[in-house]
Structures are given as C-alpha cells and as structure tokens.
Amino acid sequence: DIQMTQSPSSLSASVGDRVTITCRASQSISSYLNWYQQKPGKAPKLLIYAASSLQSGVPSRFSGSGSGTDFTLTISSLQPEDFATYYCQQSYSTPPVTFGQGTRLEIK
C-alpha cells in the first residue's frame, strides 16, 4: 500500500499569511493526488484534484502543485474560514485509497 505523509501535522498562522502544506507519497503516484478540507463536525470538502486542478467553487487562493512523490497545497492569503484540517489522498494505486494523516491549521 502507498503511504501518505503530511507535514507539518499542525501549524499556526495568521489571517493574510501564505501557508504551504506538504504531502509525500511512499512511491511515485504521478499527479494522482487530491486535497480535502475538513472543519470540525463536518464532512471533508474536495479542494484540489489531480495535484493542481481546482474543484469548482473553491476560491482561487487555494492551489496545488507537485508530481511523483512530493506535493504541496498552498493558501495564498489565509482567510478566517480556512482554519481547518487538510488531508491529501492518492488515487494512483488502489485499492486501497489512502489518505495522509492530516494537517491541522490553527489561528495564531
């Protein structure tokens, strides 16, 4: 199974900051990497698919990049509603579908 490792596990940032979250795969997954945002008590929400494609309706301050084993999710200017937990997920080698352990983004 492909293991997905996110870093950091948590980070604190302020409104307006530029934030980057990293996801590393245990083997190459080409660009088959998706990002989700989850707020407390809510279902995850798809932000980015295929490493860099923005899901419809998602603000353009979110962007994704990377290929192979290393990927990043960038939020260009943090907004109050962006404080949440973010997960990456690979679809290159399934089953199983595997997720990263999550990155909790907190207000500084």
Identify the residue among 19, 75, 89, 105 touching another protein (CB under 8 A).
89
Q: Minimum distance from CB of 107 to another protein (Å)?
A: 19
Alpha-carbon distance 66 to 95, whole Å? 22
Q: Which stretch binds another protein (CB under 8 A): 18-26, 29-37, 61-69, 76-84?
A: 29-37
Instruction: Note whether 1 and 64 are within 8 A (CB).
Output: no
Q: Minimum distance from CB of 40 to another protein (Å)?
A: 10
Could you give the strand order of the β-sheet that contains 4-7, starting from the edge strand earlier in sequence?
Answer: 4-7, 19-25, 70-75, 62-67
15, amino acid identity: V
Identify the residue among 55, 63, 67, 74 touching another protein (CB under 8 A).
55
DSSP string, 20-66: EEEEEESS--TT-EEEEEE-TTS--EEEEETTTEEPTT--TTEEEEE
Q: Minimum distance from CB of 7 to another protein (Å)?
A: 14
Q: Minimum distance from CB of 13 to another protein (Å)?
A: 21
Which residues contact another protein (rule: CB under 8 A)? Answer: 30, 32, 34, 36, 38, 42-46, 49-50, 55, 87, 89, 91-92, 94-102
